[in-house]
Amino acid sequence: MSDAPDAPTEIDKHLPENRPPVPEPAAETIDVRRGMFRADGTGDTSGYGGLVRAIQLPGASQRPYGGWFDAAADQLERVLPDFGDAIEKVVVDRDELTLFVRRERLTQVMQALRDDPTLRFEMCMGVSGAHYPHETGRELHAVYPLMSVTHNRRIRVEVVCSDEDPHIPSVTSVYPGNDWHEREAWDFFGIVFDGHPALTRIEMPDDWPGHPQRKDYPLGGIPVEYKGAQIPPPDERRAYS
């Protein structure tokens, strides 16, 4: 009986501890955040008034991405002949693979990710919104986490649009379960999902002005007309010592 260790299997090569190191992508600083909750002056009672943090977005990663990320990117490139036009950039950050997809190609890319047997990302876990006011022309982001039950893998798809043209195609034709998730992203961020079967608010009243999770939405002072009350802005609320 030999004491020599078994040769690594194909699965072993993809385990996090066996992957070759992947350099962190260069980050782009788009803003500097001061404090925690955007309150100025003495109204900040959080204790984080002196916090200063750079807001950074990761840049494109260079090959090799590491592990199965390269095989997935290669396969997607094979099934999408115009891969370079559809995929804006690939980012590997914190052991996650994110495909930045041009919005006009979103449904085509999603269809390929779902249906190709080698990729087989059958599940879309929803869509989350993000708002970066200082990223001019790319202020609104829609982020789709995808999961392959077949291969036990996860990736993310991200699409950007501007405040002036906040339109992204709906993916409900590919992932019908995204119906309510897209309604929530529209409600809170103002992203218009073209082709959605019934894009209406899902949390706020139908006549609510604005989209509450955008960075330019005030934290207080919004008249809550249906209750006859008003939420004071942070610098007018009671401070505790």
Q: Which amino acid is at 211?
A: H
Q: What is the rounded distance in angstroms from the CA atom of residue 189 to the CA atom of residue 141? A: 9
Q: What is the rounded distance in angstroms from the CA atom of residue 48 to the CA atom of residue 126? A: 32
pLDDT, average across residues 185-202: 96
Query: First and final CA of the chain: distance in angstroms?
Result: 72
pLDDT, average across residues 188-199: 96
Q: State CA 91 to chain mean position distance.
A: 12
The radius of gyration of the chain's CA atoms, rounded to the nearest angstrom, is 22
User: Where is pLDDT greater, at 238 or 113?
Assistant: 113
* Token reading at 206: 């139908």
**The pLDDT of residue 228:** 59
pTM given for the model: 0.75
**The pLDDT of residue 233:** 75
The pLDDT tens digits for 65-85 are 888 999 999 999 999 988 989
Assess whether pLDDT exceeds 90 at residue 86. yes
Q: Which of 121, 126, 223 is nearest to 183 (CA)?
A: 126
Secondary structure tally for the chain: helices H, strands E: 5, 12
Helix, strand, coil tally for the chain in percent (to 5): 25, 25, 50
* Token reading at 188: 């809170």
User: Where is pLDDT greater, at 37 or 142?
Assistant: 142
pLDDT, average across residues 99-103: 96
Q: What is the rounded distance in angstroms from the CA atom of residue 3 to the CA atom of residue 222? A: 71
Q: What is the rounded distance in angstroms from the CA atom of residue 67 to the CA atom of residue 14? A: 5
Query: Counting beta carbons within 10 angstroms of the beta carbon of residue 113, is it exposed (0 to 12), middle (13 to 18) or buried (19 or more)?
Result: buried
**The pLDDT of residue 59:** 78
pLDDT, average across residues 197-210: 90
User: Where is pLDDT greater, at 233 or 133?
Assistant: 133
Q: What is the rounded distance in angstroms from the CA atom of residue 161 to the CA atom of residue 135? A: 10
User: Where is pLDDT greater, at 10 or 159?
Assistant: 159
**Average pLDDT score, the chain:** 83
Which fold, 64-236?
Beta Polymerase; domain 2 (3.30.460)
Tell me the CA distances in angstroms from 37 to 49, 141, 160, 205, 231, one per residue in order: 9, 21, 25, 25, 15
